[in-house]
Amino acid sequence: MPPRPPPAWPDAVGDVVRGPVRVSVPATSANLGPGFDSLGLALDLRDELEGEVLAQGLEVEVHGAGAEQVPRDERHLVVRAMRVAFEVLGVEPPGLRLTCHNVVPHARGLGSSSAAIVGGLALARALVTDGAERLDDQALVALATRMEGHPDNVAPAVLGGFVISGTDDDGRAYAVPSAVAPDLETVVLVPADPVSTEMARGLLPATVPHAEAAADAGRAALLVAALAGRPDQLLRGTRDYLHQHYRRPAMPASLDLVEALRSDGVPALVSGAGPTVLAFVGVGAAVPAEAVLARCPQGWTAHHLAVDRRGVLVV
């Protein structure tokens, strides 16, 4: 078989890497019970993207989760993210080919949009010869936050592991990695039907009682310690007062399952904006992973996932 010819794009585009580049980006779970808009965890469930510079045009191919719903033009979220990164890096490729192999389920609270944004930014960065030097991971978090609106999903997608994030008074995003016990694992139970983030956010009240806010702050602080190596505190540390119960009308089955699991001693919560249910398992857990997997309702999908500690990668 003759060797594949290089893509036909002008030599004048000297800042762009020749040949295809692939990146892998993890799913994420945000909020984590009391950590509303501030705590996020990367999970070992990965989308893979491949990009290549062409002489002209735009070619988008999508396989897997969301393949039937997402656009194949400039509206595609990965393409939009790539354009943002290229603009920051001062590069304008004459054409692009993008191939997406999606595993992260869409509109289920596992950070599919964040994976698309972070993956697109990282792919564009990798397609520029000195992109990694000019756009480091903290800059990637800031760009991704600008697109997503909140850093709690995009930060762990970039950095991996468990990340505490937010925005300063001047609007700048911050992301601080925090320790995760090496034996911590998760089970995610994914409903068949999606719930949009916009719908879930629309159910939240404009204000909450001071006592609930104070209780939530205490549990979020405890959860940081629990994830770092106090599994005996995970059930207490995942108790939420701030957002999950308000969202029950959009995902009653999810909240029923969370309550049933918690009543049996399982640290369970709604992942992100829902409707996926996440439970912490591993060494020291009151209930083993196999027992939680067996609680998966009919028609749902179950995954036993490690914590991803790598973040977005060039592969």
The reply, when asked if residue 236 is annotated as ligand binding, is no
The reply, when asked if residue 29 is annotated as ligand binding, is no
The reply, when asked if residue 112 is annotated as ligand binding, is yes
Tell me the CA end-to-end span of the chain in Å, nearest whole number.
Answer: 25
The reply, when asked if residue 222 is annotated as ligand binding, is no
DSSP classification of residue 16: B
The reply, when asked if residue 225 is annotated as ligand binding, is no
For 55-183, list the strands marked E by DSSP.
Answer: 57-64, 95-102, 162-167, 173-178
CA–chain centroid gap for 178, Å, is 17
The reply, when asked if residue 218 is annotated as ligand binding, is no
The reply, when asked if residue 109 is annotated as ligand binding, is yes
Phi, psi of 209 (to 5 degrees): -60, 145
**Bridge-partner residues for 188, per DSSP?**
278, 303
Please list, in sequence order, all residues whose beta carbon lies within 8 angstroms of the beta carbon of residue 185, skipping any fewer than 6 positions away.
Answer: 280, 281, 282, 289, 304, 305, 306, 307
The reply, when asked if residue 166 is annotated as ligand binding, is no
The reply, when asked if residue 284 is annotated as ligand binding, is no
The reply, when asked if residue 115 is annotated as ligand binding, is yes
3-state secondary structure of 192: coil
The reply, when asked if residue 156 is annotated as ligand binding, is no
Binding site members: 105-115
Binding site members for ATP: 105-115
